[in-house]
A and B are shown apart, each in its own frame.
Chain A
């Protein structure tokens, strides 16, 4: 018998703290699979954000630093400047990256900082119980948009991949989704390209992963993926937005 599928070594053999059906767990495993395939586990340093994945340091077998809310790209910059030959990546949610951490993200890209960012876009603040995120859709009901997100009050959702693709320092930016098996495979491929872009010292890379939040969307896990397909992908078209590798 040959093993077709098993837990990748860089992913700790522990139960994670995510809600049932939360796609954070899938993306964690894909990151670990790519690091295993690149043989980079011993040279990887991750940076965890503030949000549901704040305790990501418990779920990986490599070194991790936990960063203040929004500051992961700056922390990663500090690490990368000390260890230019290590694989340094941040794992951030939409509040961490596109709200409080916008400046750090934009300037890491502008510097062409040789780091990779795994950006989980689930259009909501999960850890704090379902508030609006900068990527919440117009009309989306959340704890802080109880009447649905209104343009005249909360403005428009931010398209991060498109925004960052205009920055010259960005070398590779792709938006993917984990709503289906084919898209999960594409997500893994995109993460691999981003990490290889970094290891080849080509500059800043970011993978935006459309993800679900069953608990705070108030949906069954499979229903949440369906909602993602029908609503989020329209607002956030999948594809490569920048590739200067």
Chain B
């Protein structure tokens, strides 16, 4: 039995990054994510790494651009407003095919918003918050253990596909403590060398250039299309999700992150009363697990999408279901938390509509 640690989400993701061979973290204080930076400040120096508090989230993401372009595993972290500031940098990172990891412990918005957990950054994360045609890998863990596992995966997949990867948590996940086990650490020099990096020609190779500017649009179009062929392979190979009691379900709740844990409580109560309810929990938000929704839509009466926002993932569920059955939405916003009995009542309301031949 590996050793267990009781850790906050923000700190667990930091430890997981260091164990993934990340030695460069560029941060900026923002509630509810700041413990991540504080953990890095304390531990990076002890592990031969660099923690640097930048002058802004903009500077931090551009430091990640430089470090990633220089061949290192690099990470930054922030929360919603700070992530908005990083969008231009993320577009450049995607356009220059650079791997990196960005952590967003989302908070209520828009504007300065609130500091409690929220899921209102789904569109920004999955539909590309910056300019141009690009995507990020987006992982949405819902436990501190899964946060640890997804951080390691994010670094590996970012390197494999040479693109930015986001850990999309929320204030609750960042602030709560749970027991976690850690994987064996990977040392940076054990990682495969990145031949394309700018680490100096050493007069032994042609120069490497990290760039996203292509004034000849024919070339930029070709590069974008090549990138989208890579995205297509990712959509086929990399979607992750969890299913609970969906085989015999008459209604399925779609929820990710903390909302999925809350919905599970409601589902348990409903199941104990004989209501056949299931849950599909996307773990990767991009690539979105459309295929499983399409398959379940063949026989369920309805989906209920539960989010801590005004409804964003619900659109992807509807796209995946393609009208085979209705997709309802229930959510809270502004940093309010969805409550189990509200989900419970919503499922009952929908099923009554269905039995009464409403829809």
Contact = CB atoms under 8 A, between A and B. Distances in A.
User: Are chains A and B touching in the complex at the 8 Å CB cutoff?
Assistant: yes
Interface of A: 41-45, 47, 54-55, 57, 60-68, 71, 74-83, 86, 103-104, 106-107
B50 A81 contact: yes
Contact of B70 (A62, A67, A82): A82
B49 to A, nearest CB: 9
Interface residues of B, number: 41
A82 to B, nearest CB: 4
A201 B255 CA distance: 52
Interface of B: 24, 26, 50, 52, 54-56, 58-60, 62-72, 74, 88-89, 92, 96, 198-204, 207-213, 215
Given A77-B59, A104-B59, A104-B62, 9 more contacts: A57-B209, A62-B200, A65-B211, A68-B92, A71-B65, A74-B66, A78-B64, A79-B66, A83-B199
Contacts of B26: 78
Contacts of A47: 66
Given A45-B198, A81-B52, A82-B70, A71 B211 contact: no
B207 A62 contact: yes
A63 B201 contact: yes
Contacts of A65: 65-66, 69-70, 198, 209-211
A66 B208 CA distance: 11
Given A45-B70, A78-B65, A79-B198, A66 B210 contact: yes
A64 B198 CA distance: 7
21 contacts: A42-B202, A42-B203, A47-B66, A57-B209, A61-B207, A63-B209, A64-B209, A66-B209, A74-B63, A74-B66, A77-B63, A78-B26, A78-B64, A78-B67, A79-B66, A79-B198, A81-B24, A81-B52, A82-B72, A82-B199, A106-B55
A107 B50 contact: no
A41 B203 contact: yes
Given A64-B207, A71-B89, A74-B59, A54 B213 contact: yes
Contacts of A43: 200, 202
Contacts, number: 130
B219 to A, nearest CB: 13
Most buried by A among B55, B66, B88, B201: B66
A78 B56 contact: no
B55 A103 contact: yes
Given A62-B207, A83-B199, A78 B74 contact: yes
Interface of A is mostly: helix
Contacts of B88: 68
Contact of A42 (B69, B92, B201, B209): B201
B69 A74 contact: no
Contacts of B69: 65, 75, 78-79
B54 A107 contact: yes
Contacts of B202: 42-43
Given A61-B207, A66-B212, A44 B67 contact: no
Contacts of A64: 198, 207, 209-211
A90 to B, nearest CB: 10
Most buried by A among B62, B69, B72, B215: B62
A76 B198 CA distance: 11
Contact of B67 (A57, A60, A81): A81
B90 to A, nearest CB: 11
B91 to A, nearest CB: 9
A75 B211 contact: no
Given A78-B24, A82-B67, A82-B70, A71 B54 contact: no
Contacts of A82: 24, 66-67, 70-72, 74, 199
Contacts of A45: 70, 198-200
Contacts of B199: 45, 63, 82-83, 86
A63 B207 contact: yes
A172 to B, nearest CB: 21
A78 B207 contact: no
B200 A63 contact: yes
Given A63-B201, A71-B59, A79 B70 contact: yes
B107 to A, nearest CB: 24
Contact of B54 (A68, A74, A76, A86): A74
Contacts of B62: 67-68, 71, 74-75, 78, 104
A133 to B, nearest CB: 21
Contacts of B24: 78, 81-82
